[in-house]
DNA sequence: ACTTGGCACTCGTCCGACGGGAGTGCCAGC
DNA sequence: GCTGGCACTCCCGTCGGACGAGTGCCAAGT
């Protein structure tokens, strides 16, 4: 009973603080919410909440501000994901339809998400590891140079230039291509390395060096070089809530420029529809300890192929943000399914 | 004679202001530079320079600050490009060597440039229009779906998914591919549209709809959709000189997120080694009127295939920035030449 | 025709003091 | 367990004065 009201007070504090960006006091709280009790009572509750570490005051005798833990409780127990309005849904589908290729889908999605949430949006390209080989193409660029193009069934295309070290001919390349395709076509990328490992043995000894160089590059592409790409949008929105971050915008921008950081940030939901929220110091990434990150996996059906999400100030509209992230993830998943 | 000293004063003002970010007064000027005259004389010169619109004072009785026009004169007549130090040159080549594909070259270059100049760096992918077709690949993705991959001799790869509208088979696709390659291989991209325009006529009437869809997409790829890509790095550096911009960092970040804006920004040098400097209001792009942009073309030999450059505050170190931009452009050009 | 030192004047900036206001904690009473 | 009252704390905006950097102008010197 009393416990319930305390949580209501916490909810009210979070909501007001998110709306106004100013420490909220007991008086304004009772005015804006019909809590049915007096400011003095609220003060007692606040003292208790502060004791529990859920709120804090920036200065003696200023209003209260939620702590990271306070937001945590709010997200876990006091809020629910806010579904998008009809207009927003329509905006999403009209914006995402008409994407011509994977790059385009990624770009449109991430921009859209940034716009919907007015925060920084991040999207990860569909992982190679879960997909299968749709095609592998080898193109002779020069005597010692081959372009390797790998096309996955998710529509993703990987390319790299291979320096063969030894002479390569159109004829040899053609035979190599069909051998590789024999072994790899339709196979999951994770299995490709193993399946092509002995291909070199089918060639003449003097052909093997060049063949091996190509195979090594292929294996590197599918295995070692996970190099999951990420795309970013909405960094301009950082400027708007610049003051919120203790250490200014700089470290945040720096962190966001590092692909590795972004990848760690996106985490690893293993099922779609499970939103992950990391608040403030829960992000172990340096520079982002005063931001919150909301991510979710997306994919075909319930197979997760990658993640997307947003980065914003800890004082963000969690229900709304979570709604937008989830909605965009669903649409992207649907589009991938249709196109695949 | 007197005219000469005035220009020296302007140069000194620019240099000091760039170094300190503070309005520079007559007294400190004679202290830091050996001009051989008294502050009073400098004041007279300053009055004249202000008359000409080359410098201005933020407030009555504060020091002077260069105007956009002042910087213009400085760049055109008072400075020369500063060559990089040996250490910097070594850093460039060690950083750019080992790039595995075009994406990698672009990414490394733009990051390097951002780091060298401590500003925002922009690089444009090599234009398709000036290059020739190295290979065109068609892959059947589904009954009505074909993946079109176009590989240019600059190493650039364009891909798109084509919805054929009518059924497509492996056999038909194979015939189409060899027809297209017959016509287009080795040809300049600009000529491809014309050369493949009548390919459909060689097919059976019932095959033509699907064939036409693929051809249309190909033509779109090489002609209509110039979609020159750009890559950005160093936006974190914006935070450092945040105060410099009248309207804060926000509009700058917004402008930089727009690909179209960036493309316009990069302009069109038609020869390598000709640096373009646009200062403050000379940039007609909204949001960037208080920044300066230094760009240059890069390419193989003296054939320009794209542009790169940096965006920074008008009070930037022009000689140094120009040196870095030119150096990186040369290295990128060299790498493209070697790889091509 | 330039240069120079002197001088009065203008402003922006940096305190320190002051008052208002918002908010708190505590207590006594219901 | 709630409430009203009250004293207290502390942030913040305002004001005024001292300070200093820098200017413009003028009269004199070279």
Distances (CA, A) of B131 to A141, A169, A221, B148, B303: 14, 23, 26, 18, 10
Contact criterion met (CB < 8 Å) for A253 and B242: no
pLDDT at position B248 is 72
For the domain spanning A86-125+228-339, the CATH number is 3.30.450.40
Please indicate whether residue B337 or residue A184 has the higher confidence score (pLDDT): A184
Which top CATH class is A2-70? mainly alpha
CA nearest to A135, candidates A186, A189, A200:
A186
Q: Which residues of chain A lie closer than 8 angstroms to B258, CB-CB?
A: none
Q: Which residues of chain A lie closer than 8 angstroms to B100, CB-CB?
A: 160-161
pLDDT at position B100 is 76
In this predicted model, what pLDDT tens digit does every residue of A142-178 receive, in sequence order? 888 888 988 888 778 888 888 888 999 989 999 999 9
Q: Cα separation of B49 and B73, whole Å?
A: 11
Burial class (CB in 10 A: 0-12, 13-18, 19+), A205: exposed
Using CA coordinates, name the residue in chain B closest to A249: B239
Give the closest-approach CA distance of B250 to chain A in angstroms.
Answer: 5
In this predicted model, what pLDDT tens digit does every residue of A272-328 receive, in sequence order? 778 999 999 999 888 898 899 999 999 887 788 889 999 999 999 999 999 999 999
Our measurement of CA A40 to C1' D3, in angstroms, reads 7
**pLDDT value at A245 more than 70:** no
* Nucleotides of chain D touched by protein CB (<7 A): 1-5, 8-11, 20-26
pLDDT at position A108 is 93
- CB of A66 within 7 Å of some strand C atom: no
- CB of B62 within 7 Å of some strand C atom: yes
To which H or E segment does residue B88 belong? helix B86-96
Q: Which residues of chain B lie closer than 8 angstroms to A287, CB-CB?
A: none
Give the residue range(s) of CATH 3.30.450.40 domains in chain B.
86-125+228-339
CB neighbour list of residue B107: distance below 8 Å, 6 or more residues apart: B231, B233
CA angle B129, A100, A237 (to 5 degrees): 95
The torsion region of residue B118 among left (phi > 0), alpha (psi -120 to 50) and beta comes to left
Q: Cα separation of B141 and A340, whole Å?
A: 8
- CB of A26 within 7 Å of some strand C atom: yes
CA angle A330, A333, A337 (to 5 degrees): 140
Nearest to A139 among B147, B151, B339 (CB): B151
Our measurement of CA B40 to C1' D28, in angstroms, reads 14
Contact criterion met (CB < 8 Å) for B236 and A253: yes
Chain-centre distance for alpha carbon B245: 21
pLDDT at position A247 is 58
pLDDT at position A181 is 93
Task: Count how many residues are written for chain B.
Answer: 340
Q: What is the DSSP letter of B76?
A: I
pLDDT at position A16 is 95
Distances (CA, A) of A275 to A14, A270, A285: 20, 10, 19
Structure tokens at A165: 């070290």
Contact criterion met (CB < 8 Å) for A339 and B160: no
pLDDT at position B243 is 62
3-state secondary structure of A141: strand
Whether pTM exceeds 0.75: yes
Q: Cα separation of A55 and A63, whole Å?
A: 10
The 10 Å Cβ neighbour count of residue A72 is: 18
In this predicted model, what pLDDT tens digit does every residue of A91-145 receive, in sequence order? 999 988 878 788 889 999 999 999 999 999 999 988 877 788 988 989 888 888 8
- CB of B63 within 7 Å of some strand D atom: yes
Structure tokens at A82: 């806010």
Strand partners, A278: A293
Give the closest-approach CA distance of A17 to chain B in angstroms.
Answer: 23
CB A88, CB A116: distance < 8 Å: yes
pLDDT at position B120 is 96
Give the closest-approach CA distance of B22 to chain A in angstroms.
Answer: 22
Contact criterion met (CB < 8 Å) for A145 and B233: no
Helix axes A102-117, A86-96, angle to 10 degrees: 150
Would strands B55-56 and B65-66 be described as parallel, antiparallel, or unpaired?
Answer: antiparallel
Q: Name the nucleotide with the smallest C1'–CA separation from A40.
A: D3
Contact criterion met (CB < 8 Å) for B257 and A235: yes
Q: Which residues of chain B lie closer than 8 angstroms to A160, CB-CB?
A: 100-101
Q: What is the pLDDT along chain B (340 residues), one digit of tens a residue?
A: 677 899 999 999 999 999 999 999 999 999 888 888 889 999 999 999 999 999 999 888 788 999 999 999 999 999 999 999 999 999 999 988 878 788 889 999 999 999 999 999 999 988 877 788 988 989 888 888 888 988 888 778 888 888 888 899 989 999 999 999 999 999 998 899 899 989 999 899 999 999 999 999 999 888 765 567 899 999 999 887 766 665 578 889 899 988 888 888 887 777 777 899 999 999 988 889 889 999 999 988 778 888 999 999 999 999 999 999 999 999 999 988 876 5
Give the closest-approach CA distance of B236 to chain A in angstroms.
Answer: 5
Q: Which of B121, B142, B159 to mutate to test the interface with A (most CBs of A within 10 A)?
A: B159
**pLDDT value at A46 more than 60:** yes
Structure tokens at B36: 């051989």
In this predicted model, what pLDDT tens digit does every residue of A69-97 receive, in sequence order? 999 999 999 999 999 999 999 999 998 88
Contact criterion met (CB < 8 Å) for B239 and A250: yes
Chain-centre distance for alpha carbon A130: 17
Q: Which residues of chain A lie closer than 8 angstroms to B233, CB-CB?
A: 257
Cβ contacts below 8 Å, chain A against chain B, sum to: 84
Give the residue range(s) of CATH 1.10.10.10 domains in chain B.
2-70
- CB of A40 within 7 Å of some strand D atom: yes
Q: Which residues of chain B lie closer than 8 angstroms to A102, CB-CB?
A: 159
Distances (CA, A) of A241 to A82, A146, B23, B30, B251: 22, 48, 30, 43, 14
Contact criterion met (CB < 8 Å) for B239 and A257: no
Sheet hosting strand B157-163, strand order edge to edge: B133-142, B145-152, B157-163
Q: Name the nucleotide with the smallest C1'–CA separation from A22.
A: C22
Q: Cα separation of A143 and A165, whole Å?
A: 9
pLDDT at position A325 is 97
To which H or E segment does residue B211 belong? helix B208-219
Strand partners, A137: A149
Q: Cα separation of A46 and A26, whole Å?
A: 8
Give the closest-approach CA distance of A83 to chain B in angstroms.
Answer: 28
Our measurement of CA B63 to C1' D18, in angstroms, reads 21
Please indicate whether residue A61 or residue A241 has the higher confidence score (pLDDT): A61
CATH ID of A129-223, from 3.40.640.10, 3.30.70.360, 3.30.390.10, 3.40.50.2300:
3.30.390.10
Give the residue range(s) of CATH 3.30.390.10 domains in chain B.
129-223
pLDDT at position B310 is 97
């Amino acid at each position: 009973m009393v416990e319930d009201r305390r949580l209501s007070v916490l909810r009210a504090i979070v909501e007001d603080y998110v709306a106004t960006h100013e420490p909220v006091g007991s008086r304004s709280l009772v005015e804006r919410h019909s809590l049915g009790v007096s400011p003095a009572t609220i003060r007692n509750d606040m003292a208790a909440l502060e004791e529990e570490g859920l709120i804090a005051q920036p200065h003696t005798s200023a209003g209260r501000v939620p702590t990271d833990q306070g937001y945590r409780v709010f997200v876990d127990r006091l809020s629910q994901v806010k579904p998008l309005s009809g207009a927003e849904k329509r905006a999403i589908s009209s914006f995402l339809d008409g994407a011509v290729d994977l790059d385009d889908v990624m770009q449109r999605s991430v921009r859209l998400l940034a716009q919907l949430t007015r925060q920084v949006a991040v999207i990860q390209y569909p992982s190679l590891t879960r997909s299968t080989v749709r095609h592998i193409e080898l193109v002779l660029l020069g005597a010692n140079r081959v372009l390797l193009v790998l096309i996955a069934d998710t529509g993703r295309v990987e390319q790299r230039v291979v320096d063969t070290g030894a002479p390569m001919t159109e004829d040899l390349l053609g035979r190599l291509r069909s051998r590789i395709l024999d072994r790899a076509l339709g196979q999951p990328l994770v299995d490709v390395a193993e399946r092509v490992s002995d291909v070199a043995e089918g060639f003449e000894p003097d052909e093997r060096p060049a063949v091996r160089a190509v195979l090594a590059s292929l294996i590197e592409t599918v295995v070692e070089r996970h190099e999951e790409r990420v795309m970013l949008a909405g960094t301009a929105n950082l400027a708007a809530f610049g003051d919120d971050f203790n250490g200014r915008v700089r470290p945040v921008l720096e962190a966001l420029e590092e692909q590795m950081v972004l990848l760690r940030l996106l985490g690893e939901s293993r099922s779609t529809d499970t939103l992950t929220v990391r608040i403030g110091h829960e992000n172990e990434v340096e520079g982002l300890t005063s931001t919150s990150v909301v991510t979710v996996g997306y994919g075909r059906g319930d197979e997760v192929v990658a993640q997307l999400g947003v980065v914003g100030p800890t004082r963000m509209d969690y229900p709304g943000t979570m709604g937008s992230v989830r909605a965009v993830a669903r649409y992207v998943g649907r589009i991938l399914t249709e196109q695949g």
